[in-house]
Amino acid sequence: MLHMDFSQRVVIDTHAQAWQPSPAAGVERKLLEREEAERGRASSIVRYAAGARFNTHQHPLGEEILVLEGVFSDENGDYPAGTYIRNPPGSAHAPYSEQGCTLLVKLHQFDPADLASVRIQTQTGQWLPGQGGLQVMPLHSFATQHTALVKWPAGEVFKPHRHFGGEEIFVLTGEFMDEHGRYPAGCWLRSPHMSQHTPFVEQETIILVKTGHLPLAD
């Protein structure tokens, strides 16, 4: 069990973490949250060495991936940096990387009825206007859950707000901030149901944001 108390706020600077081996040769990871060893809910930064591969395996409650560096592949295609992937519950594949890659991976976290298969290349995706000066690139929504990239212009300050169903952020570029601290690129934040903050930035910053997906605290 790692960071499975969803009533607690979690902040991890993934650049400060050490790589740990996985069951597959040439594949390492940095654990963010994990229900149990090699089973159940897990979120990780995963790094494939050139030529590394996994055997065919299933995802009983889905797999969500953002390719951070390199090219990730499976029998269905090649996915360069910036690709957002959702493999629905019950899907299976045999992933590998010929040149090596780094991924943000979330396992076993889908609603069983969320059966969409998603492939979006965010580097060429369309930014839409958001609140204030923000720009948003929607990636997926199901029921109360929403996933998007959000681009913050330098100096942007957002209004104070609460997160029904929690909020999860991975900082891709720049530095995200709120009254609790500063979070440079590579930081992962998970805030519980009905948590509140007033975020802002000093430089242009891009974050991956998930909201409404965490268990509600008692």
| 117-173 pLDDT per residue, tens | 999 999 999 999 999 999 999 999 999 999 999 999 999 999 999 999 999 999 999
Residues 6+ apart with CB under 8 A from 62: 86, 87, 88, 89, 91, 107, 108, 109, 110, 114
Structure tokens given for 125? 């995706």
* DSSP β-bridge partners for residue 148: 138, 209
* pLDDT at residue 1, as a whole number: 86
- How far is the C-alpha of 16 from the C-alpha of 28, rounded, in Å? 15
- How far is the C-alpha of 171 from the C-alpha of 199, rounded, in Å? 13
Q: Helix (H, G, I), strand (E, B), or coil: what is residue 79?
A: strand
Residue type (1 letter), 15: H
CA-CA-CA-CA torsion sign (64, 67, 68, 72): positive
| 53-86 pLDDT per residue, tens | 999 989 999 999 999 999 999 999 999 999 999 9
* pLDDT at residue 217, as a whole number: 54
* pLDDT at residue 40, as a whole number: 84
CB-CB contact of 186 with 208 (8 Å): no
198: Cα within 13 Å, side-chain hemisphere:
4
* pLDDT at residue 215, as a whole number: 80
* pLDDT(206) > 60: yes
* pLDDT at residue 37, as a whole number: 77
Give Dmax (Cα) for the chain.
Answer: 46
* DSSP β-bridge partners for residue 57: 93
Structure tokens given for 79? 């996915």
* pLDDT at residue 171, as a whole number: 98
- How far is the C-alpha of 114 from the C-alpha of 154, rounded, in Å? 36
| 1-46 pLDDT per residue, tens | 899 999 999 999 999 999 999 999 999 999 999 998 777 899 999 9
> Given its phi and psi angles, is residue 90 left (phi above 0), alpha (psi -120 to 50 degrees) or beta?
left
* DSSP β-bridge partners for residue 214: none
What DSSP string runs through 135-188? EEEEEEEETTEEEEEEEEPTT-BPPPEEETT-EEEEEEESEEEETTEEEETTEE
- How far is the C-alpha of 171 from the C-alpha of 152, rounded, in Å? 11
